[in-house]
Structure 1
Amino acid sequence: MSEAKDSETIKFYSNEAEAYTTRGVPASKRHLHTFMTRLPAGGRVLELGCGAGQDSEAMLAEGFDVTPSDGTEAIAAAAAKRLGRAVKVLLFEDIKETEAYDGVWANACLLHVPREHLPAIIARVQRALVPGGVFYASFKAGEAEGRDRFGRYYNYPSPEWLAGAYGVRGWRGQIEITSDRGSGYDGLPTDWLYVFATKA
């Protein structure tokens, strides 16, 4: 793959935008709460892969200056309707800011980045954060990249592989990786990895 995106995955979300954004999934409350407690009051947040916009909605309600974004135009439009504000159509490889955000929230979206491109996307996020900025992302765990029954690409990392993708330069202390069992759009039992990293 020559780009940090997968056309088949984007096609799925474009075709399923209405179903995906109206299924009433609540915000990732535990991790979102932890994320918000690590931000300064009114801090600037970039949300990647905002989906229906429920996490941006929760952060806006707490007074944060949120820039919601999604890589699929139809999903961004649905989120904009929910939030009553513009939602950026943004692909991960188009993140170009430097020291612009106190936090980057990437719930269940970077798991679609081809493995070969994930370290470079993480580096873009790191550059977009201010020193001390917080980066959260979640991934479906595994040992080898592949596709689900809908044809969506997943990088399916192990904790060890994921730590290597983040690297050690530019982060404060250890990368925090925790795991839990949950599910996803397919309704199947899923092992999830949750990652917090703080820019040095």
Structure 2
Amino acid sequence: MTEQDTAKDGGAAGRSASNASTLAGYEGCADDYAQTTAPKPEAGDQPALVELLKAASPGGSLLEIGSGPGWDADWLEERGLIVRRTDGAESFLHFQASRGRHAEQLDVINDPLGGPYDGVVALYVLQHVERETLPAVFARVTRALRDGGVFLFSIREGEGDTVEIGSKGNEYYVALWPRSEIVAALAALGLDLLWSHSFEGSEGRWLIALFRKGAPE
């Protein structure tokens, strides 16, 4: 995310010992983060969002985890989807309110996710969930999806855990995952891989993947 030279759009996902400083870091950087991640028309549409739009039910309802400034939700809503915007950092809720958008505070680890949804989106946020906790978060997301629903998310590829230091000195917990482990974990929950893309960012390698729960209706 931009504050610590990571990625594009999303706040902190949940509150626990190792990512408490991550959440605090996002509380202090919403305006700067929003400015540096604002959509650039010359860059065109994000391929991941295009794939989600193709796979989701027309006019379907989505839960966005880590909505951040809300740029992705704007894009999806402009194309007819209904997005429940959520974030763990109050600063992003206030930023979206200043834009006339409503976003709710959500701890993805402990709070009810609601649903069932036609899709769940979690871009550039789940890398902050502790390694031992992420499988349970995946299970919660799966339960929140209707049969045929889709799950779009990103994760940092690699091995182990790391702490990154932001421009204001905040520590950001990051878990790295091998692609094969992520695909296997979601397959065990009944989610089938539809599309994926890996790329190198300034801070390391990212995986963006789109999964579907069971057979589409």
Q: Using structure 2 for the length normalisation, give the TM-score.
A: 0.80
Give the paired residue count.
192
Identity, % of aligned positions = 30
Higher mean Cα deviation, 98-107 or 6-15?
Answer: 98-107
Q: Does 1 or 2 have the higher relative contact order (CA < 8 Å, sep 6+)?
A: 2
1:71 matches 2:88: yes
Residue 36 of structure 1 is aligned with which of 27, 44, 53?
53
The one of 27, 34, 41 equivalent to 1:14 is 27
| 1:69 CA displacement | 0.7
Counterpart of 1:41 in structure 2: which amino acid? Answer: P
Q: Identify if the C-alpha distance between structure 1 residues 42 and 95 changes in structure 2 by more than 3 Å, giving closer, same or farther.
A: farther
Contact 2:193 2:209 in 1 (8 A): no
Match of 1:109 among 113, 125, 148: 125
Q: 2:68 aligns with which of 48, 51, 55?
A: 51
CA 60–176 in structure 1, closer or farther in 2 if over 3 Å, else same: closer
Cα pair 1:99 1:131 within 8 Å, conserved: no
Distance 2:72 2:97 in 1: 13
User: Normalised by the size of structure 1, how large is the TM-score?
Assistant: 0.87
Deviations 1:126-167 (A, max 9, x none): 111110000011012121111112220111111123234434
- Return 5+ residue gaps in structure 1 as ranges: none
State the Cα RMSD in Å: 2.1
Query: Would you say 1:163 and 2:183 are equivalent positions?
Result: yes
Match of 1:179 in 2: 198
Q: Secondary structure at the residue paired with 1:52?
A: coil
Could you say if the C-alpha distance between residues 189 and 94 of structure 1 is closer, same or farther in structure 2, counting changes exceeding 3 Å? Answer: closer
- Report what 2:101 is aligned to: 85
